[in-house]
Copies of this chain bind each other. A is one copy, B any other.
Amino acid sequence: MSTTTPPAAAPEAPGTPEAPGAQETTPSPLLTALRTHLAPADVLTAPDAVEPYRSDVTGLRDTRPPAVVVVPRTVEQVQEVARAASAHGVPLVVRGAGTGLAGGAAAPADGIVLSTEGLAGIRIDADDHVAVVGPGAITDHVDLAAREHGLMYAPDPASSQISTIGGNIATNAGGLRCVKYGVTRESVLALDVVLADGTLLRTGHRSVKGVVGYDLVSLIVGSEGTLGIVVGATLRLLPAPTAVRTLVASVPTLPDAGRAVGVVTGSGVRPSTVELLNAATLENIDAHSGTDLVARHGGGLVLVRTDGPGADAEIALLADALSAAGLDAQVLDDAEGERYYELRRTGRGHRADLWSVGEDVAVPRSALVPVLEAIEEIGRRFDVDVTAVAHAGDGNLHPGLSVPKQPGETAPPARLHEAADALVRAALAHGGTLSGEHGVGIAKRHWLADELGAEQIALQRAIKAVLDPAGILAPGGFLADVPVDDVPFAADGTAVP
């Protein structure tokens, strides 16, 4: 792909594009404007070059491809792209690595995709415990750069090896460690943002604290690319923990799981990870990874980590507290601890023979077990297989729903969507939210009014109109005014509620 070539000087005037789309005979005024400011190789229109930018992990895609994918190399180029989009009234969607799970980066038909891959700089200012990065920086690369200075970047979404900071900011990404260190928002101190009209907004501060003016950083974080284009971020770093300790507790029943989580989160220790895996998840991992988790743990397990100088004392205290509560809890050695952690992160397989849905709801602490029970009941009611993993320390559940594909089926059966709908409504009924960390995007916007109500949606649209009055940025995103029954399905047939 030509988009990874080094930056080239923008030509003085538009020349012949290197790889014009097959359909491109006379360049449109939009393309002409873009080629005035970006190198030819950074303005993609050929169908095969554009294709990889059309969707994210959901596979959700618009009816027609975008007119162009641009790969700006400088903030000024981003400003020019925004100005061109505004001048020509063309929708613009910002794209990181395309690891999103809600369709937020789906390319707009005939519009512009702005890929951040050319803005991936990472600078560590160790004295200030901050990283100053471009939106295209890979999450783990920021963490690795910080570790060279004894520091770390705490948020660790499961996609951190390939996801970008800009994408993490767009969705306010969580992860396994955020039960101790907070989600992405708690690690973003300042943002540089290009608004739809090309204005560069610098907001936030380099200090940990600051209360001057409205918190526009928090407004931008989690706004899914609808308010502005993040072109730079100042991230908070923390001392890297010198030790990490792990324990695993077997939880034969869901009430046992709830009790285990309650013991851990009520102990006063601040664990860095509290994950819950139910029986069906253990079966899935065993089938995919050749492990014997079901034999070892039966109905489920809770995986807990502590880190920092008190890690040993803290893990021992938690193991004692779990044992005192009648649960079988074992402190693992480093290698075993790492193995369990990696199995949790990556141990489940993708099954091509299933229609499947990955959910992301969050509920108050007291609702964890009732909602897990509701999930199992929903599986039985709709004849759908259910797994459940959860960032249990903060009530964030990722149930998986699946049904076997039948020969000749081109779309999942209705009961899969009905089960997902019942699950989301169960979470809402228990005081929860329809997304804990993945975002709303295109995939979940049909539930938006169920959580926010029409008045708050109107207010949020009015705020968007302040920053993006012409509605250029992600106009088809989570705030789009679309019919409530517009339940999208991915092009490959995977339902993505």
Contacts and interface: CB of A to CB of B under 8 A. Distances in A.
A210 B310 contact: no
A431 B465 CA distance: 31
A212 B448 contact: yes
Contact of A201 (B199, B435, B438, B456): B456
Residue of A171, A210, A219, A453 most packed against chain B (CB within 10 A):
A210
A462 interface: yes
Interface stretch (A15-23, A33-41, A261-269, A482-490): A261-269
Nearest to A266: B239
A314 interface: yes
B209 A219 contact: no
Nearest to A316: B309
Interface in A131-171: 150, 171
B364 A206 contact: yes
Interface residues of A, number: 88
Interface in A257-291: 265-270
Residue of A203, A212, A363 most packed against chain B (CB within 10 A):
A212
Contacts of A227: 214
A97 interface: no
A441 to B, nearest CB: 10
A250 to B, nearest CB: 23
A58 to B, nearest CB: 16
A208 B174 CA distance: 11
Contacts of A129: 265, 365
A207 interface: yes
Nearest to A208: B394
Contact of A207 (B222, B269, B363, B465): B363
Q: How many copies does the complex hold?
A: 2
Interface string A105-134: 000000000000000000001011110000
A476 to B, nearest CB: 16
Contact of A459 (B174, B448, B467): B467
A433 interface: yes
Interface in A397-433: 431-433
A205 interface: yes
A221 interface: yes
A234 to B, nearest CB: 10
A335 interface: no
B437 A209 contact: yes
A7 to B, nearest CB: 28
Contacts of A270: 270, 308
Interface stretch (A24-32, A80-88, A181-189, A374-382): A181-189
A97 to B, nearest CB: 18
A218 interface: yes
A147 to B, nearest CB: 13
A103 interface: no
Contacts of A265: 129, 239
A213 interface: yes
A211 B439 CA distance: 6
Given A127-B365, A223-B214, A309-B314, A209 B267 contact: no
Given A219-B219, A309-B317, A466-B462, A205 B266 contact: no
Contacts of A216: 456, 459-460
A325 interface: no
Contacts of A459: 201, 216, 466-467
Contact of A267 (B211, B309, B431): B309
Given A215-B219, A215-B221, 13 more contacts: A129-B365, A150-B266, A186-B186, A201-B459, A205-B431, A207-B363, A207-B394, A209-B391, A209-B433, A211-B437, A215-B222, A219-B219, A239-B268
17 contacts: A128-B365, A128-B366, A185-B218, A186-B186, A203-B456, A205-B362, A207-B396, A208-B394, A211-B436, A211-B439, A213-B448, A213-B479, A214-B222, A214-B227, A214-B463, A309-B314, A310-B313
Interface of A: 125, 127-130, 150, 171-172, 174, 178, 182-183, 185-186, 199, 201-203, 205-216, 218-219, 221-223, 227, 239-242, 265-270, 308-310, 313-314, 317, 362-366, 391, 394-396, 431-440, 448, 451-453, 455-457, 459-460, 462-467, 478-479
